[in-house]
Amino acid sequence: MDLCIIGSGYVGLVTGACFSEMGHHVTCVDNDQRKVDMLHAGRIPIYEPGLEELVHRNVSAKRLRFTTSTQDGVDQSQVIFIAVPTPPQPDGSVDMTFIEKVAREIANALKPGQYRVVVDKSTVPVCTGERVAATIQRYNKTAEFDVISNPEFLREGCAVEDLMKPDRIVIGSSSDRATDLMRRVYAPFQAPVLVTDINSAELIKHAANSFLSLKISYINAVSAICEASGADVELVADGIGMDRRIGRQFLNAGLGYGGSCFPKDVKAFIAIAEELGVPFNLLKEVERINAAQLERFLRKMRDGLWVLKEKKIAVWGLTFKPDTDDVRNSLAIDLVNRLIAEGASVTAYDPKGMEKAIEWKLIPASVKLAKTPLEAVADAEALVIATEWKEFQNQDFAAVKSQMHTPLVFDGRNLFDPATMKEFGFIYYAIGRPVVK
Ligand code: NAD
């Protein structure tokens, strides 16, 4: 099939690459000329495992191409996916200006007699589909189209895998003709398809991300009780997670949830519910617990170091999670900024996130960046683990300890085995676990 994706970021580019890998002909549109130029030059603007290879293969096979022209994309394609940002506004509600603008652009590009399916893949408030349809109709009276909601559930860091083998595909539709086309788009993926009305599909995405955030906040609240009582949150999580009704995933105590999705989607869901006259106080508590985690972690650091001012601190990890270069809303970045604000001197290392952290000016120029994890710890008075990259687990810890001025480790992701850290002679602070001295 001929498909078009408007917005070629983390969701749009990976979706375009995976659709083309499945044999569709895909036009990826982005209004950022620099991004499209990079893609034309064979360079991939984001890091996502497996993506580069996929893009190169499908561009060579002439199944994938890039343009800045929405008109071009709409002309060529039966199905038009929208994958533009839906960032939060200061009050937590969703900024819909990108979606509205794309709806107008599609309306202007649609030609009489050309039936098109317009699919919203961005994460949007319930009832957006109705507004997109009304907008297209308002700007193009003769347009023949249907609107579909097809929320995306990919996780950054394993986005290609998630797209190729999704747990489910949700299609929110009010038209059999459009549903049939969507089934054809996804047929090669051989994944379970759930067809719903448009509003339910839109709600599924916010409800799913809020539930996952809730699970993280739940175990973080339990981790505080573990710290107060001397229990070990990892064992508690194992015990809870072995219950198949609950599951072990997303029961990892740590600095909290961050990134470009969970914080904004929880905020959005609270705002959406409030607007509908159904206050969602449970989610407000989820946010409160999440914000408290970083404060508790800083208290732990003050407990170990007494005063943070003038301390040399190595931070491993800047991205909001491993296997991505995404540093948007990363708690690791927040932590670095808090340490700097308290007068500490920070040397950071991240396998993929340093370039964007500098480019987007997310960390002050005073933060030194190291080329290796070992270089970062040279003369450090403490090491902080802020992102759970696998690379950090495979370090030579005897060498790490010998490089450090004092062997304090504050593990914000419970990445290490306390007994092993003790063997190496570290003073080891983790989340929700007894301190090892
Ligand atoms: P992104 O910022 O990485 O990419 C969005 C792209 O859209 C950018 O490249 C931007 O230049 C482009 N764009 C903006 N306006 C445009 C226009 N008018 N025409 C053409 N291109 C335009 O964002 P993302 O992370 O891919 O997220 C997109 C949507 O998907 C959001 O609603 C997000 O909540 C949702 N989502 C994201 C993830 C994730 O993990 N990143 C997962 C699921 C859903």
Can you tell me the distance from the alpha carbon of 215 to that of 219, in angstroms, rounded to the nearest whole number?
6
Ligand 1 lined by 54 (C-beta under 6 Å): no
Q: Collapse the DSSP code of 169 into the 3-class scheme (helix H, G, I; strand E, B; otherwise coil) and give the result.
A: strand
Strands annotated E in 109-227: 115-120, 144-149, 169-172, 193-196
Q: What is the mean pLDDT of residues 142-162?
A: 96
How confident is the model at residue 125, as a pLDDT?
A: 97
Return the residue whose CA atom lies nearest to atom 38 of ligand 1: 11
Same domain, 192 and 283: no
Residue 10 lies in a domain: yes
Same domain, 190 and 245: no
Q: What is the mean pLDDT of residues 201-222?
A: 98
**Best substitution site from 11, 38, 39, 323 to test ligand 1's pocket, by max atoms within 8 Å of Cβ?**
11
- Name the region of 268 (left: φ>0; alpha: ψ -120 to 50; beta: rest): alpha
Q: Of the candidates 138, 171, 196, which is a domain's last residue? A: 196
- Band (115; pLDDT cuts 50, 70, 90): very high
Ligand 1 lined by 35 (C-beta under 6 Å): yes
Closest of 145, 73, 74, 82 to residue 115, by C-alpha? 145
Return the residue whose CA atom lies nearest to atom 20 of ligand 1: 30
Query: So which residues are the catalytic ones?
Result: 261
- Band (315; pLDDT cuts 50, 70, 90): very high
Residue 204 lies in a domain: no
Same domain, 353 and 422: yes
Residue 408 lies in a domain: yes
For residue 121, the CA-to-ligand 1 centroid distance in Å is 9
Same domain, 266 and 397: yes
Same domain, 153 and 244: no
Ligand 1 atom with least separation from CA of 260: 41
Ligand 1 lined by 94 (C-beta under 6 Å): no
Sheet holding 64-67: strands in order across? 64-67, 25-29, 2-6, 79-82, 115-120, 144-149, 169-172, 193-196
Q: How many domains does the chain contain in total?
A: 2
How confident is the model at residue 308, as a pLDDT?
A: 98
Helix-helix angle 198-229:233-241, to 10 degrees: 140
Same domain, 302 and 355: yes
Residue 57 lies in a domain: yes
Ligand 1 lined by 85 (C-beta under 6 Å): yes
Ligand 1 lined by 123 (C-beta under 6 Å): yes
For residue 122, the CA-to-ligand 1 centroid distance in Å is 7
Same domain, 35 and 138: yes
Instruction: Report whether 313 contacts 331 (CB < 8 A).
Output: no
Residue 89 domain boundaries: 2-196
Ligand 1 atom with least separation from CA of 13: 26
For residue 333, the CA-to-ligand 1 centroid distance in Å is 21
Can you tell me the distance from the alpha carbon of 320 to that of 394, in angstroms, rounded to the nearest whole number?
20
Closest of 146, 153, 148 to residue 172, by C-alpha? 148
Q: What is the mean pLDDT of residues 66-86?
A: 97
**In angstroms, what CA-CA distances link 253 with 41, 197, 312, 418, 431?**
42, 36, 26, 15, 6
Closest of 30, 94, 16 to residue 58, by C-alpha? 16
Place of tokens 């683990």: 385
Q: What is the CATH number of the domain that holds 315?
A: 3.40.50.720
Same domain, 258 and 327: yes
Alpha helices in 276-353 (DSSP H): 281-305, 331-341
Q: Of the candidates 152, 181, 196, which is a domain's last residue? A: 196
Q: What is the mean pLDDT of residues 147-166?
A: 96
Q: Of the candidates 196, 215, 244, which is a domain's last residue? A: 196
Q: What is the mean pLDDT of residues 209-237?
A: 98
For residue 83, the CA-to-ligand 1 centroid distance in Å is 5
Ligand 1 lined by 6 (C-beta under 6 Å): yes
DSSP 435: P
Closest of 411, 372, 418 to residue 391, by C-alpha? 372
Ligand 1 atom with least separation from CA of 68: 20
Can you tell me the distance from the alpha carbon of 9 to that of 32, in angstroms, rounded to the nearest whole number?
10
Ligand 1 lined by 260 (C-beta under 6 Å): yes
Same domain, 58 and 191: yes
Residue 59 lies in a domain: yes
Residue 275 lies in a domain: yes
Same domain, 133 and 63: yes
Q: What is the mean pLDDT of residues 56-83?
A: 98
Q: What is the mean pLDDT of residues 156-179?
A: 97
Same domain, 396 and 348: yes
Place of tokens 């970021």: 9
Residue 17 lies in a domain: yes
Ligand 1 lined by 31 (C-beta under 6 Å): yes
What's the whole-model pTM score?
Answer: 0.95
Same domain, 139 and 13: yes
How confident is the model at residue 45, as a pLDDT?
A: 95
How confident is the model at residue 82, as a pLDDT?
A: 98
Return the residue whose CA atom lies nearest to atom 11 of ligand 1: 32
**Best substitution site from 10, 31, 209, 326 to test ligand 1's pocket, by max atoms within 8 Å of Cβ?**
10
Backbone φ and ψ for 434, nearest 5 degrees, come out as -60, 145
Residue 127 lies in a domain: yes
Report the chain's mean pLDDT, rounded to a whole number.
Answer: 97
Return the residue whose CA atom lies nearest to atom 9 of ligand 1: 9
Ligand 1 lined by 156 (C-beta under 6 Å): yes
